[in-house]
Structure 1
Amino acid sequence: MSRFSEAEKMYQEMGVDVQAALDKLSKVKISMHCWQGDDVTGFDAKELTGGIAATGNYPGKATNPQQLMADIDKALSLIPGKHKINLHASYAITEKKVERDKLEPEHFQAWVDFAKERGLGLDFNPTLFSHAKAADNLTLSSPDASIRKFWTDHCKATRKIAAYFGRQLGCTSLNNVWIPDGYKDIPADRLGPRQRLKDSLDEIFREQYDKKYLADSVESKVFGLGVESYTVGSHEFYMNYAAKNNLLCLLDTGHFHPTEVVSDKISSMLLFADRLALHVSRPVRWDSDHVVLFDEELKEIAKEIVRCDALDRVFIGLDFFDASINRISAWVVGMRNMEKALLYALLLPHRELKKMQDEKNFTELMAVMEECKTLPFGDIWDHYCEQQGVPRGKTWFKEVQQYEAEVLARR
């Protein structure tokens, strides 16, 4: 009997249908962020600003669209399943410079062609940083009406572009608004900036698009570099704005206080919203965007999505950037770990565990949950990788090393 067959039998004894779990996982599309490949540089800016920092100088960084697409291809060849690519507006591919408030779908046609050829979806984000008009970390909440209009027009343009992605690729495109706005020291007025942000968002979301093609989300943050004392787009602001305006509230796992965990928020959000969006990162002390590991919080996030039967209601995207290690390896580790966490969750006997909790059988609940931790999950994961035609175990890393030697080292 193969290791997979033996493992499958052990899960069946726990009441878990392994084949059904693998089938569900194969249908999940995770959004892989393009900005890991070039340290969030993009193609239209020279300096990274807006409270964002990528540390490290590992060789081989992508410096043009061709290199970035080639690196994405390499990463995807080592990741099970068919997924999505998450773009920022700063990754427009144009023959001459186009200002961000003037961007059109045609400026991303190369990305649409790239995705269509590979059976991928595309998600999108307006880029309200690394720009002269965002130099003081005030964009949609700026007291300067001309600055607000520039960024409002930019966000309206990205919604149009994302809707185009959805129509062209037959896959709903998530357009997520995050802004760096805030103040370094204690503000004299907290209400005014939030009123201006609300007015800007009202204008941005005025036009209606078919939700089959476009999903709109807004993303909060506790603080960032240069805005340590006050963030205009707080969680309370965006959660209320999203609820009132029927938008998605995006939760970034690094954008909360150190003692908060996003896994605990998922069930509450899904109870009151049709859909939810996530940016999965790994905060170390603060929003440091470390590569996602197969750790306890990632498992809890995946378990909550599965327990809520919400795999088709949650947009799962990754958001990290590490310039101190091989960038392709970072993508592969993060994406495979997100899938591992979902598979781990799908292989738990949730119905039986819930029944034990409802019947107050906490002793058995603890015992069974602990036994599940040592089931041969790795054998199921390796089988899934083989099914999907990608390397199992650590063998994928040899391909990254070869690509580094043959491609990255020559840049």
Structure 2
Amino acid sequence: MQSEVAQSYEEAKKLYARHGINTDDVLQKLEQVKISMHCWQGDDVQGFLFKDQELSGGISVTGQYPGAARTADELRSDIEKAFSLIPGKHKVNLHAIYADTEEDVDLDQLEPKHFQNWVDWAKEQGLGLDFNPTCFSHEKSKDGFTLSHPDPEVRRFWIDHCKASRKIGAYFGEQLGQTCVTNIWVPDGYKDVPVDRLAPRRRLKEALDDIFAEEINPAFNLDAVESKLFGIGSEAYVVGSHEFYMGYGITNNKLICLDAGHFHPMEGIAGKLSSLALFTDGILLHVSRPMRWDSDHVVTMDDELIEIGRELVRNDLLATTHVGLDFFDASINRVAAWVIGTRNTIKGILKAMLEPTDLLKSAELEGDYTTRLALLEEFKSYPFGAVWDYYCEKNGVPVREEWLTEVKAYEKEVLLERQA
């Protein structure tokens, strides 16, 4: 006998079929979508390489919810719990400060061996890994500059760190059989208006040229560069602006990272995807929720997320867009934050897949804007939720809010014990 979820799905399936949408095919496509879930939500961006290091680079995490991971093993346990409540097989995004090693090693000396425990674990779990050099929260980034630093010795340290990070990323890709995306973001900038905007950008360009001088098999590692509009301590000027990295990425065939929180508060990134797609071989997308600019709130099913999903699906960009998450909230259960944000991101893509895209495009091309608007509005109330529930049940994860019961139990049995 069919479950209630399966029965509801069958009814929804019939409705969507009226417009040529095969929901079974849609769910098969959805299973191929991998979300790169960020590790730093689990421990408030502390990492394990430098104990008790204060956050810097304009990064701030607020809240004192109990249960933050204190070790790599605890963090991996929390990630496993989150993934057990999220449909599909995905990836984990690591920062360099999450090296799992007893060795006293600085950022510029990191090697793949310092992440072997992560690789072994990812193999066991069937997960891919992405990577990021950590160009913040370090004594050599205290003055707000790294790759564009005027001191060549400081600049060399960060260049060597990024070079090491690319090799680590390539090792991940080779060992796991899933291409690693290694993304470079630096906090470089001035709090007040500078006299010379060009020189720091020239230094950043030269540093990036040095970092990327060594060719790495793109089957193992893809390089990405990430911009920002402004940050705490760089309100007046950011070296790595959107225009800088867009020019650099297109010229040098690097992925350009669009982070939903790194633009003007009234500016969405969905409309940028189709523009970049014409001039690049791929895009790195960081999904976040900037309630007040780059505040990195947990991703919800808001209008911007739905528009991002639509742009990816309508323009057939899923195959060339690497979708990751970037938020951190210490005011709520950290595992729940992962589950909510990741499930919502997948939902946003599924919702777009369940639109009659071909019919809408045809109406638009013919100038039938009445049909376009009417269908878009009517499909807002189509039973998307029934398809999502079935996808969860089919993948053996909790349906609807049932996952919260498991998170609460995990909090009581595991997370609260860390406070003892």
Class of the TM-score when normalised by the shorter of the 2 chains: over 0.9
Whether 2:302 is the aligned partner of 1:295: answer: yes
Q: Which runs of 5+ in 1 are unaligned?
A: none
Whether 2:24 is the aligned partner of 1:19: answer: yes
Superposed, 1:2-401 pairs within 5 Å as: 2-45=7-50, 46=52, 47-401=54-408
Query: What code does the residue aligned with 1:132 have?
Result: E
Secondary structure of 2:323's aligned partner: strand
* Kept after mapping to 1: 8 A contact 2:23/2:354: yes
Query: What code does the residue aligned with 1:130 have?
Result: S
After TM superposition, give the deviation of residue 94 of structure 1 in Å: 1.0
Query: What code does the residue aligned with 1:19 have?
Result: D
Secondary structure of 1:222's aligned partner: coil
After TM superposition, give the deviation of residue 13 of structure 1 in Å: 1.0
Name 2:412's counterpart in structure 1. Answer: 405
* Kept after mapping to 1: 8 A contact 2:132/2:165: yes
After TM superposition, give the deviation of residue 60 of structure 1 in Å: 0.5
After TM superposition, give the deviation of residue 96 of structure 1 in Å: 2.2
Q: Distance in 2 between matches of 1:245 and 1:386?
A: 44
Secondary structure of 1:279's aligned partner: strand
Q: How many residues align?
A: 411
After TM superposition, give the deviation of residue 95 of structure 1 in Å: 1.1
Name 2:3's counterpart in structure 1. Answer: none
Q: Which runs of 5+ in 2 are unaligned?
A: 1-5
Query: What code does the residue aligned with 2:332 have?
Result: I
Secondary structure of 1:113's aligned partner: helix
Q: Distance in 2 between matches of 1:254 and 1:236?
A: 16
Higher mean displacement: 350-359 or 13-22: 13-22
Deviations 1:216-270 (A, max 9, x none): 0000000000110000000000000001101010000000011211001000011
Deviations 1:343-365 (A, max 9, x none): 10111110000001111101111
After TM superposition, give the deviation of residue 311 of structure 1 in Å: 1.2
After TM superposition, give the deviation of residue 366 of structure 1 in Å: 0.5
Poorly superposed stretches of 4+, deviation over 6 Å: none
After TM superposition, give the deviation of residue 399 of structure 1 in Å: 0.2
Q: Distance in 1 between matches of 2:40 and 2:388?
A: 27
* Kept after mapping to 1: 8 A contact 2:38/2:325: yes
State the identity as a percent: 58
**Pairwise CA RMSD:** 0.7
* Kept after mapping to 1: 8 A contact 2:110/2:164: yes
Secondary structure of 1:124's aligned partner: strand
* Kept after mapping to 1: 8 A contact 2:253/2:281: no
Q: Distance in 2 between matches of 1:2 and 1:325?
A: 35
* Kept after mapping to 1: 8 A contact 2:149/2:200: yes
Query: What code does the residue aligned with 2:203 have?
Result: R
Deviations 1:164-219 (A, max 9, x none): 00000000000000000000000011000000000000000000011111110000
After TM superposition, give the deviation of residue 48 of structure 1 in Å: 1.0
Query: What code does the residue aligned with 1:21 have?
Result: V
Query: What code does the residue aligned with 2:19 have?
Result: M
Deviations 1:301-344 (A, max 9, x none): 01111111121100000000000000000000000000001110
Query: What code does the residue aligned with 1:44 have?
Result: L
* Kept after mapping to 1: 8 A contact 2:192/2:237: yes
Secondary structure of 1:328's aligned partner: helix
Q: Distance in 2 between matches of 1:330 and 1:64?
A: 19
Q: Distance in 2 between matches of 1:157 and 1:129?
A: 16
Secondary structure of 1:316's aligned partner: strand
Query: What code does the residue aligned with 1:41 have?
Result: Q
Secondary structure of 1:174's aligned partner: strand
Secondary structure of 2:63's aligned partner: coil
Query: What code does the residue aligned with 2:277 have?
Result: L
